[in-house]
Amino acid sequence: MVCDCIEPPWPADELLMKYQYISDFFIALAYFSIPLELIYFVKKSSVFPYRWVLVQFGAFIVLCGATHLINLWTFNVHSRTVALVMTTAKVLTAVVSCATALMLVHIIPDLLSVKTRELFLKNKAAELDREMGLIRTQEETGRHVRMLTHEIRSTLDRHTILKTTLVELGRTLALEECALWMPTRTGLELQLSYTLHHQNPVGFTVPIQLPVVNQVFSTNRAVKISPNCPVARLRTLAGKYMPGEVVAVRVPLLHLSNFQINDWPELSTKRYALMVLMLPSDSARQWHVHELELVEVVADQVAVALSHAAILEESMRARELLMDQNVALDLARREAETAIRARNDFLAVMNHEMRTPMHAIIALSSLLQETELTAEQRLMVETILKSSNLLAMLINDVLDLSRLEDGSLQLDLGTFNLYVVFKEVLKLIKPIASVKKLLVTLNLAPDLPEYAVGDEKRLMQVILNVVGNAVKFSKEGSISISAFVAKLESLRDSRAPDFFPVPSDNHFYLRVQVKDSGSGISPQDIPNLFTKFAQIQSLATRNSGGSGLGLAICKRFVNLMEGNIWIESEGLGKGCTAIFIVKLGISERSNDSKLPFTSKVPASHAQANFQGLKVIVMDENGVSRSVTKGLLVHLGCDVTTTSSGEECLRVVSQEHKVVFMDVCMPSMDGYEVAVRIHEKFTKRHERPLIVAVTGNTDRVTKENWMRVGMDGVVLKPVSVDKMRSILSELLEHRVLFEV
Amino acid sequence: MDSVTQLQGQLVDYTTSLFNEGYLNDQYTQLQQLQDESNPDFVVEVVSLFFEDSERLLNELDRALDQQSLDFRRVDSHVHQLKGSSSSIGAQRVQNVCIVFRNFCEAQNVEGCLQCLQQVRHEYSLVKNKLETLFKLEQKLLAARGSIPTQ
């Protein structure tokens, strides 16, 4: 039957199938376009790491689409081929989708973490940005500080330093006002010294003991202070709403005295200045940490710069002072030179002018003395003569001394006979000495050269002066003059520390000792002896006259002769010894007579003296005793022999003139005996001379015996002639320097 | 008179030989010079004294060197005395041996000392003989004439 009912276009089942048909179609379409879109967009971006996944995904989607497309043919009866294709497609789709599902398990967490990493990186970037900003600001600050410091330190002028500081700070920190308060001289107040905008600040002062000031001074950090405190109230508040923040910092004022060598200045210096910095009002700006640091650093630098400036000022002042002093000294020197020249001219003239009339007076007075005079007249003439002699002496002394001081005096060198000089002195002094009943003895060492090169006149003057002093200051006793060649070791006397004798081939040092038994000198007066015009105020000298220049002149002469002079005394009443050493040249003339006494003493003259001369021979050895006795008896002596020290001491008396002591016997202590003899006879002229007779040729031994109190040392064996000469030398000089 | 000249000649020769052989030295001459009218026997006296002293000293030395424990100091002092005496009269050889003897004493050399003692004795007896001979000659000459030739 064919049903003629209105056949719906589509059968009911066919409607469902039609919708399915359409849906499948669109699904397939979508499924095909999604991968295309993916591919298109992925191609656009270059950084997509999951290409393989995309391919997979694409395949999955394509296959799904294919499946749905093929579904279109399966709504109707379809051939087997289509079924086959459909099955294949489905199978493939199943495979791929499972694979994709498995793959996604791995992929999706990765994709998610990418997101987190992205977030993290973004944060990091923000942080770095912030830090960068900070560093940049710090660097700027540092730059500013360097620039500031450079500006400040490029000048040594205090005002410039401070002004520059304020200006630069103002600029760097964009300040409204910047001010510096300096402590006053009294240290009790702070005075407004510099400001940025007021050219000449009127003298505002605040007391230094303000709490805010103390607060700032107590720390080396920059301190925020209230804008209303006295130090910050600098500008007129012309209707500002909000004054900007104010910071103050202390500036230490260092002094030169704060810098010790090993001791860095502690900043407990009392003096600080106050620097006040104000931010612009109404700017809502705040002091940042780096700005505060900048301020602190600048304050320190300013302190250093200021101290440098202070030091410089100080040294400039000192230099000026020195220059002034130099000028003054120069002037003084020139004046002194003029004075000296004037004096020298004066002396030169007076030298001649004064002496001429003086000589006339003396000469004529002496002549007058020779004529017939009444007693009264004679007295007058004598007084005139004495006074004029004194005056002449004074004039000479003064003129000599001034010439000596100038260094214009020069020695008249010449060859002269040394022995004659001494004999002359002796001749001159003997009359006076004998009047005072003083015994004068002269001992000249045998090795003293007969002729020497030097200033004869002045040497005689020195000897005469010294001997004259000895005579002058001795009321009784004896004066002994001895002269010998000084050995180098004995020259270095601790009493004369700055006397350095220089040995040389053609010079020798003459040492003269004048010992007196007079009034002596107390130790405290000794240093003044050689001072000009200083006299020792003791009773004995008051009437002796003299100008007190004698020794001073002697010292000058002796120094000119490259020598030294000094006086030793054990005290008042104990006598004193004057010793001087001078350098003399050795003359070419015959000095080879080393034993002057042998040539000078004729045999006949000697023989006579020994008749009845009482001597003692002390010798342990009988044989040598007899031999020595025989020698002396042959020469005419009256000999007493002793064989031991005790016997000798028992027998010795004032009558015996010489004791010959054999000292090479080891048992006897010759030294002891000599000492005891010295003790027994305290007065020199009562004591017999002691001669040591020894076989020991050692020079040191000889000197030892001399030191011990022997008057001579003789070497065995002794011949007759030798004994003769020994005796005569002993008796003439009371000392024997010969072997 | 011949004998006088002869004797004189003999004396001179003998004395010279003594000097040449070193038995005596200059010191002896000095002694002779000291002899004069006031002191005619000076030399003989001194030499006799020397003989006595030396005998004594040599005996002392014998005794000292015989001891078990030698006291070198004592020995030295004796030798020193002997040296002094011999040098005073000019007995040169004796003096020289004494010097060597003293060195041995300082070195405390017993052997040396003994040896020296022998030598000293020997020298001493030699010089004693010589001097005695000399004196005898002088006596003879004095007897023959009235004076001794001076050197």
- Give the structural domain span for B44: 3-143
Torsion of CA A628, A630, A636, A641, to 10 degrees: 60
What tens digit of pLDDT does each residue of A655-675 get? 888 888 887 655 556 777 888
Q: Which residues of A touch B77 (CB under 8 A)?
A: 666-667
Distance from CA of B98 to the nearest CA of A (A): 14
- Looking at residue A189, what DSSP letter applies? E
Whole-number percent of chain A with pLDDT over 70: 81
Q: Which residues of A touch B30 (CB under 8 A)?
A: 631, 717, 719-720
**The two structure tokens encoding residue A384:** 């005139």
Q: Report the C-alpha gap between A473 and A578 in whole angstroms.
A: 12
The domain that holds B73 is classified in CATH as 1.20.120.160
For the stretch A72-115, pLDDT in tens is 777 777 788 888 888 888 888 888 888 888 888 887 888 788 88
CA dist., res. A68 & res. A291, Å (int):
75
Q: Are A581 and A459 in contact (CB under 8 A)?
A: no
Count of domains for chain B: 1
Higher pLDDT, A457 or A1: A457
In a domain, B53, yes or no: yes
pLDDT in tens, A459-497: 888 898 888 888 888 888 888 899 988 876 665 554 555
Q: Does residue B8 have a pLDDT over 60? A: yes
pLDDT exceeds cutoff 90 at A129? yes
How high is the pLDDT of residue B149? 56
Residue from A552, A389, A525 nearest A466 by CA: A552
Q: Is pLDDT of A405 > 80? A: no
Mean pLDDT of A133-157: 81
Report if residue B78 sits inside a domain: yes
Q: Any chain A CB within 8 A of the CB of B30?
A: yes
Residue B24 lies in a domain: yes
The ipTM of this complex is 0.84
Q: Is A667 on the interface with B (CB under 8 A)?
A: yes
Residue B94 included in any domain? yes
Residue A484 CA to residue A511 CA, distance in Å, equals 5
The 3-class SS string of B42-109 reads: HHHHHHHHHHHHHHHHHHHHHHHHHCCCCCHHHHHHHHHHHHHHHHHHCEHHHHHHHHHHHHHHHHCC
Residues in chain B: 151
Predicted TM-score (pTM) above 0.80 = no
Residue A512 Ramachandran class (φ > 0 left, ψ -120 to 50 alpha, else beta): beta
Residue range B23-41: average pLDDT?
A: 84
CA distances to A613, A657, A662, A703 from A669, rounded to whole Å, are 26, 21, 10, 16
pLDDT digits (tens, 9 = 90+) for A678-720: 888 877 777 888 888 877 666 556 667 677 777 877 877 777 7
B39-87 residue pLDDT tens: 788 889 999 999 999 999 999 888 888 887 788 888 888 898 898 888 8
Chain B residues whose CB is inside 8 A of the A620 CB are 81
Please indicate, yes or no, if residue B150 is contained in any of the structural domains.
no
Q: What is the pLDDT of residue B147?
A: 54
CB contact under 8 Å between A624 and B87, yes or no, is: yes
* C-alpha to C-alpha distance for B143 and B146, rounded to whole angstroms: 7
Residue A176 host element (H or E):
none
Indicate if the pLDDT at residue A44 is higher than 70: yes
Report how many Cβ contacts below 8 Å link chain A to chain B: 65
Name the pLDDT band for A322 (thresholds 50, 70, 90).
Answer: very high
State how far the Cα of B107 lies from the Cα of A571, in Å rounded to an integer: 53
Q: What is the mean pLDDT of residues A231-250?
A: 72
**CA of B30: which chain A residue's CA is closest?**
A719
Say if B49 falls within a structural domain.
yes
Token pair for B135: 């004196």
Find out whether A72 is annotated in a ligand binding site.
Answer: no
Asked whether residue A547 is marked as a ligand-binding residue, the answer is yes
Above 90 in pLDDT, residue A366?
no
Structural domain contains residue B75: yes
* Confidence category of residue B124, pLDDT binned at 50, 70, 90: very high
Peptide bond connecting A717 to the previous residue in cis, omega within 30 degrees of 0: yes
Residue A25, judged by CB atoms within 10 A of its CB (0-12, 13-18, 19+), counts as: middle
Across the interface, whether the CB atoms of A622 and B85 are under 8 A apart is answered yes
Distance from CA of A546 to the nearest CA of B (A): 59
Beta strand A614-618 with A205-207 is: unpaired
Is B46 in Cβ contact with A630 (below 8 Å)? yes
Nearest CA in chain B to A630: B34
Angle at A526 between CA A522 and CA A532, to 5 degrees: 130
In the structure, what pLDDT confidence band is assigned to residue A162 with cuts at 50, 70 and 90?
confident
Instruction: Kindly report the nearest CA distance between residue B88 and chain A, in angstroms.
Output: 5
* Cα–Cα separations (whole angstroms), residue A248 to A119, A218, A620: 45, 12, 110
- Residue B118 within a domain: yes
Tokens linked to A92: 């493939």
- Give the pLDDT of residue A665: 58
Q: How far apart, in whole angstroms, are the C-alpha atoms of residue A520 and residue A569?
A: 6
| pLDDT tens-place string over residues A511-541 | 999 988 877 777 777 777 776 555 555 434 4
pLDDT exceeds cutoff 90 at A445: no
> What is the average per-residue pLDDT within A650-655?
85
